[in-house]
Amino acid sequence: MSSSYLPATTGSLEEASEAKSPSEAISILYRILENPSSSSDALRIKESAINNLSDLLRLENRAEELKNLLSRLRPFFLLIPKAKTAKIVRGVVDAVAKIPGTSDLQIALCKEIVHWTRAEKRTFLRQRIEARLAALLMENKEYSEALTLLSGLIKEVRRLDDKLLLVDIDLLESKLHFSLRNLPKAKAALTAARTAANAIYVPPAQQGTIDLQSGILHAEERDYKTAYSYFYEAFEAFNALEDPQAIYSLKYMLLCKVMVSQADDVAGIISSPKVGLQYQGPELDAMKAVADAHSKRSLKLFEVALRNFRAQLDEDPIVHRHLSSLYDTLLEQNLCRLIEPFSKVEIAHIAELIELPADHVEKKLSQMILDKKFAGTLDQGAGCLVIFDDPKTDAIYPATLDTISNMGKVVDSLYVRSAKIMA
């Protein structure tokens, strides 16, 4: 890289854009930034050079250089308004985020920026970078550190009454508590986000994120019909913006249809004009396979779907949690149907009928016996399941309890009457 600087003019920017290689363009842009001029035109040209440079470094996957760029620009930040500084810093952070495999670098960069903004007393920028840092820590599963950071940030932002940032932070807190399986706090944080959002104009993308989180929480409470409506609203918002999250909203919509035993509707939704060919891919193929298995009540097809679409089903924590419940329900229904004609049957025979490993079937049958799904016992020596007749309910005990209850009422009534006479 040449040590001589270039004039901060549009001609220098054009020279960079016409460079033969990205490395040459990056070198020219660095030389523009080295120009000592601080006139308004020079500062404007330098801002454009920074934007172009961050784009080029991102395309070249030079994440470490992007991180170092912010350190080099600190003297420049003293010459421009704080709002422009915040825009440039957040732009560079976004550029680093678009480079794959840089989560640790992003965390280190955000911590460095937070330290600098505290020293420079740039509160507005610090709060937004801290919110970004909390989100990165949550993605990295460093939940305790993220929660500590958010707790202090929420108190500070509420004092300042910055509603737009407060919506972001409350929404992030809801996601964090949901990851920690603390549903009451997740719901409370989401309610706080909605309350703050009602007082201001919320961008469509943020409203979509709120609806998506609402759907996830309702689905967790097994209220799949309400969850479906929230996922639909989120899909509408993301679809209009062509946001990548639209596919996940659509995927969770289909999940809700499967969970309420309306799997036949899945094919119709996938083939609708709004979805069309735009969202066709492994995510929808996975849900179609699950819906097909559910319609046919086939555990074999269900396991094939889980095996073929592991990334889309098993590695998605939300889908995985609900499908595990669905799988258990299907397995229990199939086992109860198969053992119904028998009083004694070999476990190997049941495993053969249901097309599952014998040890897996045996484990599930023992669990069902303990849960009192049916009356029976496992004869492991003979490898058989012995099914008992349903025990007849003895009516003596309930009748006795009713008699004692009625006698108690009579005694209480007589006591009240005697008290009135004595008075």
Q: What is the pLDDT of residues 335-353, one digit of tens each?
A: 887 887 888 888 888 888 8
**Which tens digits make up the pLDDT trace of 50-60?**
988 888 888 88
- Give strand pairing partners of 345: 385
pTM of the model: 0.76
Residue 222 corresponds to which amino acid? R
Average per-residue pLDDT for the chain = 86
Q: Per-residue pLDDT averaged across 208-223, rounded? A: 92
Q: Per-residue pLDDT averaged across 264-272, rounded? A: 83
Q: Per-residue pLDDT averaged across 302-331, rounded? A: 84
Q: What is the pLDDT of residue 22?
A: 86
CA gap 382, 84 in Å, rounded: 78
Query: pLDDT at residue 185 above 90?
Result: yes
Confidence of residue 276 (pLDDT cuts 50, 70, 90): low
Closest CA to 233 of 217, 254, 249: 249
**Per residue, what are the HEC states of the chain?**
CCCCCCCCCHHHHHHHHCCCCHHHHHHHHHHHHCCCCCCHHHHHHHHHHHHHHHHHHHHCCCHHHHHHHHHHCHHHHCCCCHHHHHHHHHHHHHHHHCCCCCHHHHHHHHHHHHHHHHHHCCHHHHHHHHHHHHHHHHHCCCHHHHHHHHHHHHHHHHHHCCHHHHHHHHHHHHHHHHHCCCHHHHHHHHHHHHHHHHCCCCCHHHHHHHHHHHHHHHHHCCCHHHHHHHHHHHHHHHHHHCCCCHHHHHHHHHHHHHHCCCCHHHHHHHCCCCCCCCCCCHHHHHHHHHHHHHHCCCHHHHHHHHHHCHHHHCCCHHHHHHHHHHHHHHHHHHHHHHHCCCCEEEHHHHHHHHCCCHHHHHHHHHHHHHCCCCCEEEECCCCEEEECCCCCCCCHHHHHHHHHHHHHHHHHHHHHHHHHHHC
Confidence of residue 391 (pLDDT cuts 50, 70, 90): low
Query: pLDDT at residue 265 above 50?
Result: yes
